[in-house]
A and B are shown apart, each in its own frame.
With several copies, the nearest count.
Chain A
């Protein structure tokens, strides 16, 4: 996915940057997987066991 160009709306992009969420982590629900403002707003930080896996 990372080498594919990520489809994201301009507002969503700004919002994600502001919140420090990498776009790669967000599931886009718009046409052709486009990340929308709502997707960023609904984004949940990964739960703690994922963090533990990295250790």
Chain B
């Protein structure tokens, strides 16, 4: 069985490994770097920079513990560290692929016919034949149609990850996860940050309580957050930029050193030969069924290309299942218990649906809310900012969503995800013993609160 995978991001390489584990002869075609956006210019480099930024941000906390601290950041060295982490991880993945006897072809691939992918490599064009094909070409930043976005001071996330110096003033267009992470990052590194979001709120997919709390945190750090704001025009001004915007409360003109455009990403559906086989595209993404198969039998699509939830772990899990299905299994993809995270300080994470969505779609619900400031661990660690919120149906107590803002949220969410994945009720989480003192105690407390019997909350 010849399994060919187009694209070597987290989706593609997971599919390749699982395919090899199940006995396929696997070839993976990658035009740039193994690891895709996530390892090279996404998840990993941002998290490395955020680790340093968090230490800088924590100086005030350290002082509260009697530590007299002085820090000075060498931005070049930090960028060097980031480079090393990325190189080590991508090298690991390459070794892993080799150890699984997966062939890697460096070049741009395009579907030629129902058995062949044509690849343009440095040594010329190669035809690679397949029995099954998995498309995993990912996505790229979306640029809105605003004049002046071609100026050199305007960057996308990849550009912001290769700044030579920390911009004195940074304006971020967009208010999604990536935009907020960069805002928190550069504020901590010393930039004066402004955010501009077209919608009435940042983090539009999160629970309203998370939206409000994160907006408040950004503002407390001196970040200007403008919502309902539209960027009209970008012009050169000195060695920086002059922005023209409209909206309530936003000045008409803003001066900035750099503009980071983080307004979303679009699937790479173009120029890969989808038309040749009539592979269906809907809303600019490849259409797939529950088994990750496109409308053409034997051809699967995964990851950002399918625009389901544009996350690395969605891509990887789709990749595993697509490979399993290509090898004859019939595993369905379920998106309900996939968590999402925000690697700010404090962190945020969620799984399932928001309170607002639950009220709309599920009628009567129960909500349990537990603030970090009531946790012993939060006080001991000076991490009192945050909460855990849990949402369930009123009738059966089935858990529908978990929303966390606060330290370690991106790891705490795993318990919530497993609870939803295993179709737990509030009782299961409420009766589970949580260690003391931990942040995860808040999960048990939130579940108890939803049931009306919290331990560490004042009676109403």
Contact = CB atoms under 8 A, between A and B. Distances in A.
Interface string A20-39: 00000000000110101100
B428 interface: yes
Interface string B414-457: 00000000111101100100000000000000000000000000
Given A31-B425, A32-B425, A36-B423, A11 B431 contact: no
Interface residues of B, number: 10
Contacts of A10: 422-425, 427-428
A11 B427 contact: no
Contacts of A7: 423
A9 B425 CA distance: 9
A9 B427 contact: no
B222 to A, nearest CB: 45
B320 to A, nearest CB: 15
A5 to B, nearest CB: 8
Interface centre among A7, A18, A31, A37 (most CB of B within 10 A): A31
B396 interface: yes
* Number of chain A interface residues as a range: 10 to 19
Contacts of A15: 396
B90 interface: no
A31 B423 contact: no
A32 B423 contact: no
Given A32-B396, A32-B397, A12 B423 contact: yes
B398 interface: yes
Contacts of B424: 9-11
Contacts of B427: 10, 31-32
A7 B425 CA distance: 10
A14 B428 CA distance: 13
Contact of B431 (A18, A31, A36): A31
Interface string A41-53: 0000000000000
A9 B397 contact: no
Given A11-B398, A14-B396, A37 B423 contact: yes
A28 B363 CA distance: 28
Interface in B317-362: none
Interface centre among B423, B424, B428, B431 (most CB of A within 10 A): B423
Nearest to A12: B423
A7 B427 CA distance: 13
Interface string B397-413: 11000000000000000
A17 B341 CA distance: 36
A1 to B, nearest CB: 15
Contacts of B431: 31
Nearest to B398: A11
A7 B422 CA distance: 10
A17 to B, nearest CB: 10
Nearest to B427: A31
Contacts of A36: 423
A32 B398 CA distance: 10
A9 B396 contact: no
Contacts of B423: 7, 9-12, 36-37
A9 B428 CA distance: 11
Nearest to A11: B423
A7 B154 CA distance: 54
Nearest to A14: B396
Nearest to A18: B396
B291 to A, nearest CB: 15
A12 B423 CA distance: 8
A10 B431 CA distance: 13
Contacts of A14: 396-398, 425
A42 B344 CA distance: 42
A9 B397 CA distance: 13
A11 B19 CA distance: 29
A32 B166 CA distance: 54
B422 to A, nearest CB: 6
In order of increasing CB-CB distance, the 4 nearest A-B pairs are A31-B427, A9-B423, A11-B423, A10-B425
Interface of B: 396-398, 422-425, 427-428, 431
8 contacts: A7-B423, A10-B423, A14-B396, A18-B396, A31-B425, A31-B428, A32-B397, A34-B428
Given A31-B425, A31-B431, A37-B398, 10 more contacts: A9-B424, A10-B423, A10-B424, A10-B425, A10-B427, A11-B396, A14-B397, A14-B425, A31-B428, A32-B425
